[in-house]
Structure 1
Amino acid sequence: MSAALTAQHLGLSVIVAEKEEQYGGATARSGGWLWVPGSSMAKAAGIRDSVDEALTYIGHEAGPYFNKARAKAYVETAPEMLDFVVENTPVRFELFTGMPDYHPNSPGASPGGRCVYTKAWNSRPMGNELSRLRQPLQSMTAFGMQIGNEDLATFVTAGRKLSSFFRVMQLLLGNTVDRFHGRPPSRITSGRALIGGLAQAATSKGTQIWTNTPVRRLLLENGRVSGALLERNGRHVNLLARRGVVLATGGFAHDTQLRNQLLKDSMTDVGTNQVAWGLLPFGVTGDGIRMANGAGARFDDKVTEPIAYSPVTRIFNAEGDLSLFPVFVGRAKPGQICVTRSGRRFISEGCNYHAWGEALVKATKDEDETVAWFVCDKPSLQLYRMAAAPPWPMPFGHLVRSGYLKQGNTVRELAENAGIDPDGLEDTVGQFNVHAREGRDPEFGRGENVYDLANGDPDHRPNPCLGPLDRGPFFAIKATAGCGSTHAGLSTDENACVLRPDGSVVDGLYAVGNDAVAITGGKIIAGGITIGPAMTFGYLAARHAARSTVQ
């Protein structure tokens, strides 16, 4: 969508072809975070950063897969792209100074100031167009209202902070007014606010968004991509593109053949673990990658991990349907741990979500199921929440009855009810408690870096991330390593031009987002490191296409 907005702004005619009924893809379901080192917002806040420091960090994390030209184009252009969006759309961002890079001890890492998130805005200017914007995951809503970046802490603390309680009541009142007037909630936030704002601005300038319009293949003329064959309203349409075609089809999460091929040696249940793939829209089937391959493009799978992992839990709702709840944050709260079926911890729970998934896959590589359990005691659950289980005073009995939240009066009883090794869990909790009371985690060092601390409880002492599990009943929630995005993708240059195996450019073809290989070499290094490059390279692709010779 950033490519469409930029191209339209530069005077080009733009059509966005979306195969599904609603547009927005995985971004509309996301938190709407962008990683933008050196943004004008950071500079205004007095945060010192530099292109060299950001490149040092990316280079260290990407290792042998570091592409300096692409990374440099991203870091240098991202602040400009962000300012462009603010100047030309209703989208507004908030600088989050308290969010460090995910590996804060690495060279070039920043303790905060590189992440921005999308603020909520009133979507009424979109009118009926709002119905075509992809809905959030049901599990990320409350009372039919989307919970966004600004709202999460407010909802979690509503039971113990009067200011949070009144703010929740204010949000619910606005939601009720919308419902009374027979319209969907007008306040949209996170990734929906980002995509909705970009789309509203682009369409107001003349961009057309064709939903229910799958692209069947690319059109080639003398080795150049000259357009695409679309299926629209039951008819095939040859759409000619004078300046270029930008692929942004979301990667390959639901291309079972490709994902099984890439993950068969690491994730033992890659072919059967359906929960792992449900975060991304089912329309993400690798269309862009296959079409580009047909035009002579190179698929680059030389990455540390072909996908980005995220902890995912499966909720059994009261009405019988299923939904997923990703656990991106909140795993470093006192009184909570995570264990495999053996009852043993496998990583610091305070680590980033991708590192958590990587560690779980390795820890369970000899098992039939890639599975772990979040475990806590009652005081921790009531104070902080755990995955989709809410804190006090919200009820959670329905989650116990459905089987989502396992319960036991003792640690052993919990283990037996959840399917965890009882001896292993008892031993783990016993050892963990001894050190947690002292504020130490000698096994994994939880709470010893600024990223862990940012996800803990600053009011808890001596360590904001550690507390014993010693007051029953005890609870457990089953989780797996889900796919949050894909890293392997089409080889591209610093302008998002798609490359052939020999390094030459496929003229007229661009790839952005998860269709292109990740600039991080297959790691998640910071919040917003997927959407930030996607939007920046969309911006670069449109500018490059606008400069190209008209065919």
Structure 2
Amino acid sequence: MQDWTDEFDVVVVGSGGGALTGAYAAASQGLRTVVLEKTALFGGTSSYSGGSVWLPGTQVQERAELPDSTELARTYLRNLLGDAEADRLDAYVETAPVVVEFLERDPNIEFEFRAFPDYFKAEGRLDTGRSINALDLDPATIGDLAAKVRPELDQDRTGQGHKPGKLIGGRALIGRLLAAAAGTGNADLRTGTALTGLVVEDGRVVGVEAVQDGKPVRIKATRGVLMAAGGIEANAETRAANGTPGKAEWSMGPIGANTGVPIAAGVAAGGATALLDQAWFCPGVEQPDGTAAFLVGIRGGIVVDEKGERYLNESLPYDQFGRAMKAHSGNDAVSWMIFDSRERGGLPGISIPNTAPAKHLEAGTWVQGDTLEDLAARAGLPADAVRASVEQFNDYAKHGVDESFHRGEDPYDNFFCPPNGNPNSALTAIETGPFYAARIVLSDLGGKGGLVTDADGRVLRADGSAIDGLYAAGNTSASVSGEVYPGPGVPLGTAMVFSYRAAQHMKG
């Protein structure tokens, strides 16, 4: 007999887009559900995101009159990933329309298509993209819940609340899902409650142990436990043990979260793991405090290695950019982004958070020089190589063709580059002094390795058998996309689909 603090049908660990989709799916079907969020705010890394969700072939794409379908998305994924995860891939694309139709039945939830190209040139790709976003949300419509949504990264890292106005991006998605779950009357939404372990009886997971507001609690789960609470990305020791490239302090998750406790609990219960050496990689602008800022949408400048030489297309999708950094320079890759003063000393790209140039220059994470030779000396780079790299790139910009790395030839390359009168809008000469160099490190948006699961999100043992009562999704599970990042919103889309399927399995 167990001494239980509380009893529910379903316990959900985590509060990102996947966790809340699972919680709402369970609660809307009459299952008494509790959401356990470790920190003081709901949303996790999902709240930091732009909110794109890769759910193909849905009624949202139909409303936008896109030439998308389940079969087209399946073709695209199979071309990229092969047949190794056929069952889960089929479950993903076939359930995506079901999930969206289910969510949009609730008056709190509505999506729209927003253009953002798929990341790879392969059959089945849509150059316009197929991702969908939750509509921007007036915080007044969800009442007190709005204050419990984690703010965007810039605001959160500096201890501020939400900016005035509507919740957008990932915050809109989290706010809408919270409102939907609360509206069922069957969801208990708790913050400040950290999982410490799983309770197992006769091979079945029957509940969780946690610390709530500093006190130990034991919560029974009669139907099951769904863990969708991030990966190992913030745990330096676990990253090192698994050979995960980059550093914990360079990862983009909320401070104090995503240390891998749910994954460790799943392993203790007998679960197998995979892909723990993988992450959703991205370039990061090293910050004065040693953390990193997510870098995306580069529209100018070049990136060079310690030899002062270019080695990649700087306009690549961010995961491909990060993987190119790793392949070229190793797991703790550090490069320099060289740019000029066209944007008044600002970085020609999107940096989240966006630290003022003056603070970077004071800390030495950026350097400035009146000439390229002066800049190279301050960055510790070979001056001749830096000048040669810049002059070659400027020649490419003049003629509109990057002969070395083909920047600007893919629709994604030009997505963030408005027409500027150049033959190739992704190529802009570096010629207006003073010049700048920013330290670029290998960052990530979270780990993509975790517990091995089946098409219903059930956690599997090494022999392929399922652990009764235990489910995982999102970055707590090993990603269905393996070492590939197919398109914007795949992390959220897969988390939502497999959390939904887990809830259906628990209900069934």
- Report the TM-score when normalising by structure 1: 0.82
Q: Secondary structure at the match of 1:343?
A: coil
2:11 paired residue number = none
The 2-side partners of 1:411 and 1:486 are apart by: 37
Q: Secondary structure at the match of 1:288?
A: helix
The 2-side partners of 1:278 and 1:79 are apart by: 30
How far apart are residue 423 of structure 1 and its match?
A: 1.8
Q: What does the per-residue CA deviation read over 1:352-398, in whole Å, with 9 as the maximum and x for residues that have no partner? A: 10111111112212x9x52112221212557984444999xx98555
1:309 paired residue number = 281
Question: Given the superposition, is the C-alpha separation of residues 38 and 199 from structure 1 closer, same or farther in structure 2, using an over 3 Å criterion?
Answer: same
Residue of structure 2 aligned with 1:494, choices 443, 455, 460: 455
The 2-side partners of 1:423 and 1:307 are apart by: 35
The 2-side partners of 1:262 and 1:217 are apart by: 21
2:17 paired residue number = none
Residue of structure 1 aligned with 2:114, choices 96, 111, 121: 96
1:249 matches 2:229:
yes
The 2-side partners of 1:191 and 1:51 are apart by: 24
Tell me the percent identity: 31
- The residue correspondences of 1:295-374 to structure 2 (distance < 5 A) are 295-301=269-275, 306-316=278-288, 324-328=292-296, 330-331=297-298, 333=299, 335-365=300-330, 369-374=332-337
1:76 paired residue number = 94
Q: What does the per-residue CA deviation read over 1:4-48, in whole Å, with 9 as the maximum and x for residues that have no partner? A: 111111111000112222221111111111012112121222222
Residue of structure 1 aligned with 2:147, choices 120, 128, 131: 131
- Larger displacement relative to structure 2 (252-261 or 437-446): 252-261
Q: What does the per-residue CA deviation read over 1:223-261, in whole Å, with 9 as the maximum and x for residues that have no partner? A: 211111222344433211111110112011123333112
1:226 paired residue number = 206
2:243 paired residue number = 263
- Whether the 8 Å contact between 2:397 and 2:423 is mirrored in structure 1 is no
Q: Secondary structure at the match of 1:424?
A: helix
Q: What does the per-residue CA deviation read over 1:108-148, in whole Å, with 9 as the maximum and x for residues that have no partner? A: 222124111233211124333333322321269999786xx
Which one-letter code corresponds to 1:540 in the other structure?
Answer: R
Which one-letter code corresponds to 2:117 in the other structure?
Answer: P
How far apart are residue 471 of structure 1 and its match?
A: 1.9
Question: Given the superposition, is the C-alpha separation of residues 145 and 542 from structure 1 closer, same or farther in structure 2, using an over 3 Å criterion?
Answer: same
1:534 matches 2:490:
no
Residue of structure 2 aligned with 1:284, choices 258, 261, 274: 258
The 2-side partners of 1:262 and 1:421 are apart by: 35
- Whether the 8 Å contact between 2:205 and 2:225 is mirrored in structure 1 is yes
Q: Secondary structure at the match of 1:225?
A: strand
Which one-letter code corresponds to 2:152 in the other structure?
Answer: P
Q: Secondary structure at the match of 2:413?
A: helix
1:106 paired residue number = 122
Which one-letter code corresponds to 2:260 in the other structure?
Answer: G
2:132 paired residue number = 116
1:470 paired residue number = 431
2:15 paired residue number = none
Question: Given the superposition, is the C-alpha separation of residues 278 and 31 from structure 1 closer, same or farther in structure 2, using an over 3 Å criterion?
Answer: closer
1:166 paired residue number = none
Which one-letter code corresponds to 1:96 in the other structure?
Answer: R
How far apart are residue 294 of structure 1 and its match?
A: 1.4
- The residue correspondences of 1:349-498 to structure 2 (distance < 5 A) are 349-365=314-330, 369-380=332-343, 385-388=348-351, 396-397=357-358, 399-498=360-459
Question: Given the superposition, is the C-alpha separation of residues 405 and 200 from structure 1 closer, same or farther in structure 2, using an over 3 Å criterion?
Answer: same
1:201 paired residue number = 180
- The residue correspondences of 1:55-74 to structure 2 (distance < 5 A) are 55-63=74-82, 66-74=84-92
The 2-side partners of 1:116 and 1:362 are apart by: 32
Question: Given the superposition, is the C-alpha separation of residues 403 and 90 from structure 1 closer, same or farther in structure 2, using an over 3 Å criterion?
Answer: farther
Structural RMSD (CA): 2.7
The 2-side partners of 1:94 and 1:476 are apart by: 38
Which one-letter code corresponds to 2:327 in the other structure?
Answer: K
The 2-side partners of 1:381 and 1:26 are apart by: 31
Residue of structure 2 aligned with 1:20, choices 24, 39, 50: 39
The 1-side partners of 2:391 and 2:47 are apart by: 42
Q: What does the per-residue CA deviation read over 1:431-487, in whole Å, with 9 as the maximum and x for residues that have no partner? A: 111121000101001111112122322343311111211221112211101121212
1:187 matches 2:205:
no
- Larger displacement relative to structure 2 (369-378 or 513-522): 369-378
Question: Given the superposition, is the C-alpha separation of residues 89 and 500 from structure 1 closer, same or farther in structure 2, using an over 3 Å criterion?
Answer: farther
How far apart are residue 510 of structure 1 and its match?
A: 0.8
How far apart are residue 427 of structure 1 and its match?
A: 0.9
Question: Given the superposition, is the C-alpha separation of residues 26 and 389 from structure 1 closer, same or farther in structure 2, using an over 3 Å criterion?
Answer: closer
- Whether the 8 Å contact between 1:92 and 1:118 is mirrored in structure 2 is yes
Q: What does the per-residue CA deviation read over 1:493-535, in whole Å, with 9 as the maximum and x for residues that have no partner? A: 1111111111111111110100111111122111001001111
2:197 paired residue number = 217
Question: Given the superposition, is the C-alpha separation of residues 387 and 52 from structure 1 closer, same or farther in structure 2, using an over 3 Å criterion?
Answer: closer
Q: Secondary structure at the match of 1:327?
A: strand
Which one-letter code corresponds to 1:283 in the other structure?
Answer: A
Structure 2 unmatched ranges of 5 or more: 1-19
Which one-letter code corresponds to 1:37 in the other structure?
Answer: P
The 1-side partners of 2:352 and 2:137 are apart by: 28
1:544 matches 2:505:
yes
Structure 1 unmatched ranges of 5 or more: 147-174, 176-184
